[in-house]
Each structure stands twice: as C-alpha cells, then as structure tokens.
Amino acid sequence: MQRISNKRPIAIDLFCGAGGLSSGLEAAGFQIAAAVDFDSKACLTYSQNHRKTKILCEDISKLKVGDVLSQADLLGKDISLIAGGPPCQGFSMANGKTRTRKNPKNRMVNHFVRFVREIRPPLFLMENVLGFKSIAQGKVVQSLRVRFSQLGYKIKLVTLNAASYGVPQHRLRVFLIGSKNSEKFQEPPPCFGVNIKPFVTVREAIIGDLPSLIPPGSHVSNYAVPPSTAYQSKIRGRAKKFYNHIATKNGEVVHKRKSLVPVGGNWKDVPKEFCDIKVQYSATYKRLNPDEPSITVSNFRKSMIIHPFENRGLSVREAARLQSFPDSYVFCGGISSMQQQVGDAVPPLLAKAVGKQLLVMLS
C-alpha cells in the first residue's frame, strides 16, 4: 500500500513510459502517487527508479479510473494533477504514414480525457510532439479544447524548447494545460538562450568524464575522470559509477559510413559507393556538433545519430544525459527497448520547469 503525504500535491502520470515526466514533476514538488503504462520494459525502468509510486503496467483502455485510485490508495484523496503523454507515434512529424486521425494510437487521448472527466483535478498536463498541433489541420487540438472547456477547464497550449531549460538538446514539445482556476498557465521563463545564458552543449554533457566505448559496451561502468563541467557535476550527483553505457554494434559497412561523416554532417556526406541509405532525413547519420546542443534525440539508433568523436552511435547513457536524466537513473530491458525508452521520454529538466509553474497555480 502506498503512503500518501499531504505535504506535496498528488499527481497521476498516465502513459508514464520510463518516467521522464514523473521525474521532473517530482523535482518540482509533486508526489506521483500512481503511474500507468502498457510497455512492460518501460514499467520495469519506472519501478526501478520510482519506488514510492504505484505503477500499473496495464492497457489503459481496459482500466477503470476507480481501480487505479483503489490500487494506489487514492480513494477520497485530493488529486491535484493528472499528467501524461498519450503515445505520440500517430502525431510524430517523422512518421508521415501514421499521421492521421484514424491511427489507433491517437485514440489513447480519449482515455486521458476520461481520467480528467472522472477525477476532475484542478490541473491537467498533456504532453506531446510538435506534430500534435497540426494533425488533421489542427482539428484534434480544437476538439480537445472544446471537450475540456465543457468540463470547466481554461486551456493553454504552449510549445517549449527543452534547450531553454538546461537540457543539452533542441527538442520542441507541446503542452496542453488545463486549469479550473481563473488563472491560466504561464510559460516558464527560459533560463538558457540568446542574450540569457549559453545553451548547454553536447561537449558539456557527454565528453570528458565518460570512457571511450567499443560497442556493445558495459551495463555498469566507472567514470574515466572527475566531472569537467557544471552539467556533468549536476548529472552525476554523488554517483560513484554509472549504468547503461552500451551502444549498438554495427556491421562493417555501417561503421564505414559513420567514419566518413564529419562533425555536423549527415548522410549527404557519405560517398555514393557507400550510400545505400533508405531513410534520408536530416538526422540520418548525423554526427553531433560537440559545441552545440544535440539535435532531437528520438530513436537515436534508427536515425543513426553519431558520437561527435567516435565512429559509433550514442550509448544509452549518453542519450540519457542529452535528455537530462541523472546518471543514477537505470534503464531496463534489451538495448533496443532502452533506446526507445530514452528517445520517447520527456526531458526531466523540461518537465521540472513546467511543474514549477503548475505549483504556482496551486498556491
């Protein structure tokens, strides 16, 4: 049975994945009392890192709201926030074939609405990819505005760049925030950017203190040297060792292609005799520039994002750092699952910035 404290506002995280959104909201001051996801490996990661949260690894379409509240010992408790990111595959800009209203994964949004309708918390937070705004010419967002307004919520839709909040990665995410109070959500003021403070770079995040890697690598590793940047110190905390420094081992041809891409380059820099590359986006075979924030880390294995100085893809830990997960955060499952978990996650530092603004609305 979970112990619920009255000192911190209670939240439920739907479609919690590996726990990036929960981590940020917890850091902001919320207590995540319950979390739901269908991916068993992501749930394993979540439970490993959020031991005080009741995790329900179930299909949300088959879950009754009352069952969630009962299992998390929340019946009769005041729930301040319902948060979550319904599966984004149907909304992703990178997934043109699936970006339709009929994609079954888009229907998961209806279950988020169902939980809000039955619990009626003072706040809700729905996170999604940038393509969420434009699906069906914006009709999906407009429909949600109407449905939530009918429930008595004032709605705010904002697009935020994770790099503006200390994440070493340019990653645009959409947040749909609803409030039953008279006050609408105010965007968190950016802490990094032009005329503020330089963005955190790839070099500051992953270069120097992590050892060189010959794939596949090791699940448990020792640091190469002490932290050399403020970000590395922050992300390491008191950790004496770190986890998940593993990367996909590629064949000879793929390794050759990666070796031919210069810093900041991509698949276009691969000579024609090596260029039988079926997927050709700007992120395909992109070698990161160490002196800039990373490009968006989605599924970094499939897009073949390349380490700035080594001819390999990113390790799970390197990608997790670019997402602002602390080194103490352990990912579980096979390597493909871990890569997907990291790529799908909400960067905790971005979630923390949003969470702090939500707390202001509750005060």
Catalytic residue numbers read 88
* Exposure of 202 in the CB half-sphere (CA atoms within 13 A): 22
β-bridge mates for residue 313, sequence order: 306
Alpha carbons 360 and 275: distance in angstroms, whole number: 52
* Exposure of 137 in the CB half-sphere (CA atoms within 13 A): 0
CA distances from 70 to 24, 28, 35, 340 (A): 25, 26, 13, 31
β-bridge mates for residue 149, sequence order: none
Alpha carbons 108 and 113: distance in angstroms, whole number: 9
Alpha carbons 319 and 141: distance in angstroms, whole number: 30
Nearest to 179 by CA among 118, 143, 103, 126: 126
